[in-house]
Structure formats: structure tokens, C-alpha cells
């Protein structure tokens, strides 16, 4: 039986002492991974050309070429490589936003604990295998990063400090916006309000202490750029392979929660196009008179359509219908760019 080749992991940092410290800290994983530590971006690129790496761990701030530029260069040679960014406090917002790039898997603030970084590398290797096999995990297993990135809800996993361990694209965008939830100079997640920060820390510690037996708790987070607060749910997560105790923050903003498309509503509830458009318009908060005007029909026709919608969906009140529509599952990239109803 031929053994599979060991995963190749590349570490790039212009500070040699940082690389030496990483090398020492990651010795327990040397039996499973081939690791190369380089302090020159040219050497990193040349080594990638010789034999592609599976995962690159890259410092975001380097003099010759930035970490993000290096990641793009490595991916241009082989787009199968996944990258992890190491960042200082001043570059956290940039690193969070970089999660949106397809080859950036995660980011960690420096200094990062060896077991935490190793767990991130291990997850990147699993994601790489999943992408190569073009299949998702079976039911009951962890959702893939690709699935999480399509949700309208921000997913931010934190440890007890609380430092960010993982974020999906939406979560990274919330952090990068610095409107409500932010990452402070020390790398800790906090809010713009002192009292809300204290409550967030308390709920995170409570979730971690209680573990899987704990209950989720909700927090409304004030924003400076909007009158509508962020909704944050703090919940416990099972311990990972590395034994890390973490909690998850589920973050949503009212204006960023998309409605299902007219086509989706029509198919789910066996409605005609006209009936579905009316149902979606009502779910957007319009009165039936306004919805009729927007759709270019009479109020009498709108009421007739609504009676048919009630019959098909087996509800008797408009509030019930709206709740039913809002409960339909939505992914960010389904129907993107389409309007539920035409603009007035």
C-alpha cells in the first residue's frame, strides 16, 4: 500500500525570530506535516513553483511584498493552496476583510497559540480535501466554509479572551465595518459601547463555562451608522479537536436579511407569479393599497389575489402570511440583484 504524501505547509514572515519560535512551537506536528519556514518572499514563490504547498501561513505586513500580495502570487501558481494570515493589532480590519478572498481561509492575531494555529491548519487541510473531492460533509458533520459564506448571518467563533478563532465572510464584513462589533488593539472582540462590551464578554464566558449544556443568549448592539441595532446571539459550541473552548456569535443586521425571491415563494407555496409578487410585497412591509400601486393592479385585484394566497398557504391573517414568507430559507447569492417588486 502506497502512503499518501504528507501535507506541505509553508510559513512566511520577514522576522526570523518569529519563524524560529513557530518552528519550535509546532514540533509536535512535524511527524504529520512537511513544514518549511522562510523569511524571503522570493524563496517562498520559488518553492511554490517547485512543488505546491497545501497551506501557507503568511504574515500580513512584510516590506518587499505584503502578505495579501504573496497569497495572490502563490495562488496564481496553484489555486489549490489555502492561506492563513497572521496579523498584528493594526492590520486586523484588513485581515478580516481578506477572508472574502477565495484563498484566504482564516486569520489569527499575533502571537497565536500553537494549538490554535495547528487546529486552523488542520481545518484548512480538511477544507482543501473537501474542495478537491467536490463534496460536502455528510449530514450531522460540520458545515463547510463555502456553505457558511452563503448565509446572510455573520458567524464569528471566539475563545474566552475573547479573540476571534474563525469567521465566515459575513462575520468578517461586520468586524471590518467597525460599526457595532469591532476588534480592539489587543485583538479582543468588543462593541462600541462600554456597557455592551461588558455584557458581551459576560455572555461569552457564560457560554464557554457551560459548554454544550448552555443556552444561547441574545444581545442588542448599538451602531453609530444606523438607528437599527445589530442582533447578536451568543451560544456555546462543542470543543474542537484541539480541545479549544469556544463560543459562537451569530450576528445579523435588519437591512441585510434578504427576502426569498418571487420565484422561490411561487414554487414553495404553489402560487402564480402575480400572487407571489403580492406576498413578497406585503412581506416587505407594504400595505395592500401600496402593494397594489407598486404592482400596477387595482386594490380589488390585490384583495382577490390575497384571498387565493391565504387559501393556498392555509393562513387567515396577513401577519401569518408574512411570518411564513420570512421563514423561507435564503442564501446570499440566490436571486442576487433581482428586486422582489419593481421600484416606484
CA pseudo-torsion sign 9, 134, 149, 49? positive
In this structure, are 9 and 117 located in the same domain? yes
Instruction: Give me the residues paired with residue 58 across strands.
Output: 12, 85
In this structure, are 301 and 236 located in the same domain? no
- The Cα angle at residue 218 between residues 216 and 220, in degrees rounded to 5: 165
In this structure, are 105 and 220 located in the same domain? no
What does the block give as the cell for 65?
A: 511584498
| Measured torsion, CA atoms of residues 229, 235, 237, 242, in degrees rounded to the nearest 10 | 60
Mean pLDDT of the chain: 84
Question: 282-287 contacts: CB < 8 A, separation 24 or more?
Answer: 282/306, 282/318, 282/321, 282/322, 282/325, 283/259, 283/321, 283/322, 283/325, 283/326, 284/259, 284/340, 284/341
In this structure, are 56 and 8 located in the same domain? yes
- Beta-carbon neighbour count of residue 288 at 10 Å? 16
Encode burial over 208-247: b for 16+ CB neighbours within 10 A, e otherwise. Answer: beeeeebeebebebbbeeeeeebbbebbbbeebeeebebb
Q: Which CATH number does the domain housing residue 8 bear? A: 3.40.50.2300
> Does residue 333 sit within a domain?
no
Q: Which CATH number does the domain housing residue 307 bear? A: 1.10.10.10
In this structure, are 273 and 300 located in the same domain? yes
- The Cα angle at residue 239 between residues 151 and 159, in degrees rounded to 5: 70
| Local confidence band at 337 (pLDDT 50, 70, 90 cut-offs) | very low
- pLDDT(204) > 70: yes
Number of domains, the chain: 3
- pLDDT(341) > 50: no
Instruction: List the domain range (segments joined by +) for residue 274.
Output: 262-326
In this structure, are 22 and 107 located in the same domain? yes
In this structure, are 227 and 319 located in the same domain? no
pLDDT digits (tens, 9 = 90+) for 46-81: 999 999 999 999 998 888 888 889 999 999 999 889
In this structure, are 300 and 172 located in the same domain? no
pLDDT digits (tens, 9 = 90+) for 213-244: 678 999 999 999 888 999 999 999 876 544 56
Amino acid at each position: 500500500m502506497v502512503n499518501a504524501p504528507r501535507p506541505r505547509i509553508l510559513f512566511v514572515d520577514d522576522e526570523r525570530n518569529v519563524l524560529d519560535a513557530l518552528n519550535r512551537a509546532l514540533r509536535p506536528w512535524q511527524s504529520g506535516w512537511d513544514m518549511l519556514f522562510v523569511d524571503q518572499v522570493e524563496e517562498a514563490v520559488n518553492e511554490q513553483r517547485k512543488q505546491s504547498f497545501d497551506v501557507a501561513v503568511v504574515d500580513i505586513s512584510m516590506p518587499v511584498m505584503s502578505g495579501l500580495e504573496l497569497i495572490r502570487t502563490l495562488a496564481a501558481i496553484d489555486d489549490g493552496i489555502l492561506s492563513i494570515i497572521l496579523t498584528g493589532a493594526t492590520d486586523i480590519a484588513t485581515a478580516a476583510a481578506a477572508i472574502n478572498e477565495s484563498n484566504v481561509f482564516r486569520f489569527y492575531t499575533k502571537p497565536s497559540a500553537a494549538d490554535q494555529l495547528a487546529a486552523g491548519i488542520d481545518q484548512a487541510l480538511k477544507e482543501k480535501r473537501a474542495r478537491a473531492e467536490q463534496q460536502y460533509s455528510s449530514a450531522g458533520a460540520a458545515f463547510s466554509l463555502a456553505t457558511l459564506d452563503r448565509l446572510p448571518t455573520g458567524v464569528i467563533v471566539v475563545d474566552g479572551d475573547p479573540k476571534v478563532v474563525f469567521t465566515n465572510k459575513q462575520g468578517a464584513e461586520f468586524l471590518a465595518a467597525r460599526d457595532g462589533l469591532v476588534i480592539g488593539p489587543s485583538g479582543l472582540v468588543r462593541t462600541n459601547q462600554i456597557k455592551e462590551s461588558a455584557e458581551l464578554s459576560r455572555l461569552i464566558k457564560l457560554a464557554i463555562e457551560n459548554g454544550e449544556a448552555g443556552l444561547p443568549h441574545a444581545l442588542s448592539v448599538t451602531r453609530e451608522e444606523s438607528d437599527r441595532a445589530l442582533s447578536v446571539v451568543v451560544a456555546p459550541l462543542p470543543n474542537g479537536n484541539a480541545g479549544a473552548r469556544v463560543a459562537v456569535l451569530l450576528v445579523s443586521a435588519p437591512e441585510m436579511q434578504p427576502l426569498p425571491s418571487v420565484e422561490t415563494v411561487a414554487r414553495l407555496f404553489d402560487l402564480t407569479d402575480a400572487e407571489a409578487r403580492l406576498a413578497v410585497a406585503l412581506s416587505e412591509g407594504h400595505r395592500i393599497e401600496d402593494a397594489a400601486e407598486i404592482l400596477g393592479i387595482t386594490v380589488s385585484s390585490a384583495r382577490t389575489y390575497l384571498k387565493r394566497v391565504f387559501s393556498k398557504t392555509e393562513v387567515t391573517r396577513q401577519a401569518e402570511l408574512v411570518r411564513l414568507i420570512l421563514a423561507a430559507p435564503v442564501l446570499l447569492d440566490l436571486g442576487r440583484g433581482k428586486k422582489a417588486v419593481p421600484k416606484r
